[in-house]
Amino acid sequence: MKIKTIHSYQEISETEKTVLVLGYFDALHQGHKALFEQAKEIAKQKGLKVLVLTFLESPKLAFCRYTPDLLLHITYPEKRYEKFEEYGVDTLYLTDFTSDFAKVTSDQFIDTYIKQLNPDSIVVGFDYHFGHNRTNADYLSRNFEGNVVTVAEVTDGNQKISSTRIRDLIQEGRVSDANKLLGYDFSTRGIVVHGDARGRTIGFPTANLAPIDRTHIPSDGVYVTDVLVKGKQYRSMTSIGENVTFGGTELRLEVNIFDFSGDIYGEEIEIFWLEKIREMEKFNGIDDLVEQLKSDQEIAINWQKA
C-alpha cells in the first residue's frame, strides 16, 4: 500500500479510474470494515484500485474548544495503516483537517479533491457528511457522475458500531466488548522503563511501561493481557493505577509477563487488552496482595476468548 501525505488537492494525480472510500477512520472497526469490503468487491469486479482520502487527526480540532482527549486515538497510526492495507486499500491519502479545508464547500470538494482522485465509484457510510455546508451522500450522488455506494449502519446489540462507543467502552474498562466491535484486540505500545522494582521482591516482577502513542488507555484496574516482546507474544496480566497499597500517587502501567525472564529496559513492547479482572484495591499488607495476585494470575493464564 502506498501512503501519500498531501496538503492540497493539487498534489493528487490519479490518471486511472479508482474506487474511492471517504471518511475519518480512527479505529478501523467493524463498521468501517464494511465500507472496505464493499469497495474491494467493486474494485475486483472492475479491475480498479482502492483509494482512501482521510485525515491525520480528528476534524473536531478545527471546530471544538481544545481538550487533550481530542488528540487521542483508539488505534496508533502504524496499526491503522496495517488495517487499511489488510482491508484492501492500494493508496492511502492523508491530509490535515485545517480551517482552510473546513471552508471548502461541497461543490468545491467534488470539483477539486474528488476530480483529482478520479473515482469510478465512491463508497461512504450512511452518516457521511462533507463540505462546509455539511451535505450528505444523497447530495454526492446527485452531483457526482459516477456510482456512489452508501453502506448501511452496522450494529451490535441493536446499537451502532462507532468510534465513540468504542472509546467509551475502553474508558470504562470493558476492553473485551471494545475488541468485539473493533474486530481485533485494542493495544497500547510503550517503552519499558525503571520503576520501584518492588514486584520482583514478592514474586511478581513487572515491566513498567511508558506509553509512546497518543492512544486511549483503559480505566484503572487489573487486566488479562497479551504482550508482544521482541517479536514473541506472551500471556500476561497488567495493572493500571496508583499502586495505593504502597502509597503510590502516580499513575503506573505495569505488566507481569508469564513464562518470561530477563531485563528488557528500553525495549518497545505492545500490550493487547483482553479482559478486565478487577478494580484496583488497597490491601492491608503484602501477604493479602500476594494472595490476590496469585488469583489474578490464575484467571489470566486460563482466560480464553469466547
Beta bridge partners of 64: none
pLDDT number for residue 200: 66
pLDDT category at 230 given cuts 50, 70, 90 is: very high
Q: Which of 56-65, 179-188, 193-202 has the lowest mean pLDDT?
A: 193-202
- With H, G, I as helix, E, B as strand and everything else as coil, classify residue 68: helix
pLDDT number for residue 97: 95
pLDDT number for residue 243: 64
Convert the pLDDT of each residue in 235-257 to its tens digit: 999 999 876 544 444 688 999 99
Averaged pLDDT, 194-202: 71
Domains of the chain as residue ranges with CATH: 15-160 (3.40.50.620), 185-302 (2.40.30.30)
Convert the pLDDT of each residue in 290-301 to its tens digit: 899 999 999 999
Convert the pLDDT of each residue in 75-113 to its tens digit: 999 999 999 999 999 999 999 999 999 999 999 999 999
Averaged pLDDT, 64-68: 91
Convert the pLDDT of each residue in 126-178 to its tens digit: 999 999 999 999 999 999 999 999 999 999 999 999 999 999 999 999 999 99
Q: Cell 496469585 belongs to which residue?
A: 294
| Mean pLDDT (the chain, rounded) | 93
CA 214 to each of CA 128, 187, 269: distance values in angstroms, whole numbers, following the listed order: 25, 12, 15
- With H, G, I as helix, E, B as strand and everything else as coil, classify residue 154: coil
> Beta 268-278 vs 221-229: how paired, if at all?
antiparallel
> Beta 119-125 vs 18-22: how paired, if at all?
parallel
With pLDDT > 70 as the criterion, what percentage of the chain qualifies? 95
Q: Enumerate the H helices of the chain as residue ranges.
A: 30-46, 77-86, 99-102, 106-109, 115-117, 137-143, 163-171, 175-182, 286-302
Residues 189, 244 contacting (CB under 8 angstroms): no
